[in-house]
Every structure is written in C-alpha cells, then in structure tokens.
A = this chain, B = another copy of it.
C-alpha cells in the first residue's frame, strides 16, 4: 500500500483522507479537463468524503466528464459528494461588495466540506456602525473569516471584537498602491489585533481549509 496512485500526469495522494480528514483537493490551473476527470474519478473511488476542484473556469468545468458534480460559478468550484453540515459555525465577512468572489469561494468550499456558514457582506470600516450592528452574528461564530482588499482594515476591527479564531483573507480589490492585494496582505499580517492569522491573497479556499483544521481540533476535543 503506497498511499498514492500514479496516473502518469499526477500522483494522487489517496492517503490524504485518512491523514487529514478530507480527500486531496484538485487545483485546476494548468491541468487539462481529461486530467481533472481522471484525478476526480480516482479520488471518488479511493475515498469517501467530498471531492473538490478549485479555480475551475466555466468552460473547463463543462468539459470535466464525471457525473454527479456541481459547479459553483462565482466560486469557480466543482464539488462531488458534499459533506453534510457540521457543528462548526463559520462567519464569513467582507469589507466591500467587490470582495465577494473570494468570499464566495470560501463559502462554497466551507459548505462543501461540512462547515456551517453564515455570511455578512459589506461591513468595511469606512462605516464602522455597519460592523458594530452585526456583533451578535460575530459573537456566535466559532471562527470568523475576514475577506478584505484595499487596506484590509476590517481584519483588525473584527480581530479586536471577537475572541474566536480570525482568518484574514487579503483580496486584490483596489488599484495603485493596493499592489494587487499585497498591501492588504501586509496590513493583515501586522494587525494590531493579536492572534489574527492570514492566508494567501484571494484564497477563499485556504481560509475554508484553515477552518476545517479548526473543526478537526474542536471535534476531537469533545
């Protein structure tokens, strides 16, 4: 038993589910539809949980010929065998409406892997009363994913309000000095709110997966 299947063009990590509680997730860019189909088929046959393909453009998704999948267009996500909703409550907030596609990926992935998601959109600090008005939503979450571009200040504001884990996702929203998300990334890393953690720019996927790790810890501690 090697723990992987060598398809030639890919070495599928079939051991992933037993190791981390989820089958390997497929990253679509640079892969042919036939390759994606092959990997997904292998994962479906060698594991029991949800199978996901991320960053799939609509035309590629249409060319992946494995039955039973669902395509989430804004999230650019393909999903087979989504998990039932679990007990971990994740709140996903955005600073502005332009951050939505990244938040949509976080929401779709989180839902597919069994987290319970509540979304709060457009609560950027330029109108801080909007954030304060949803404080009850924030307080009942087990983790908050903050999705923000430009200066990313929402991560600090949320980080200062809640006690639970805060996973900050910088987005490439903005122009000029926003440096395609680098400014929000740096700002979130240097947040004055202690214990905020950060994932890659525009990676709603990473934030959802970080929340999945959290769910693992919570579940196990019971």
Binding stretch for chain B, among A41-49, A65-73, A155-163 = A155-163
8 Å CB interface, A163-211 against B: 163-167, 170, 172-203, 205-206, 208-211
On chain B, the residues within 8 Å of A124 by CB distance are 192
Number of copies: 8
Pairwise interchain contact A187-B151, C-beta atoms closer than 8 A: yes
Considering the complex, give the chain B residue whose CB is closest to the CB of A8.
B121
On chain B, the residues within 8 Å of A167 by CB distance are 197
Pairwise interchain contact B130-A4, C-beta atoms closer than 8 A: yes
Pairwise interchain contact A150-B217, C-beta atoms closer than 8 A: no
Tell me if A35 counts as interface (CB < 8 A to partner B). yes
Considering the complex, give the chain B residue whose CB is closest to the CB of A123.
B11
Tell me if A60 counts as interface (CB < 8 A to partner B). no
On chain B, the residues within 8 Å of A211 by CB distance are 195
Q: Report Cα–Cα, A13/B201, bound state, in Å.
A: 27
The 9 sampled A-B contact pairs (Cβ below 8 Å) are A21-B163, A125-B192, A126-B159, A151-B151, A157-B157, A185-B189, A189-B198, A194-B209, A195-B212
Chain A residues packing against B (C-beta within 8 Å)? 2-4, 8-11, 13, 15-16, 19-21, 24-25, 27, 29-31, 35, 87-88, 95-101, 121-130, 132-133, 142-143, 150-153, 155-157, 159-167, 170, 172-203, 205-206, 208-214, 216-218, 220-222
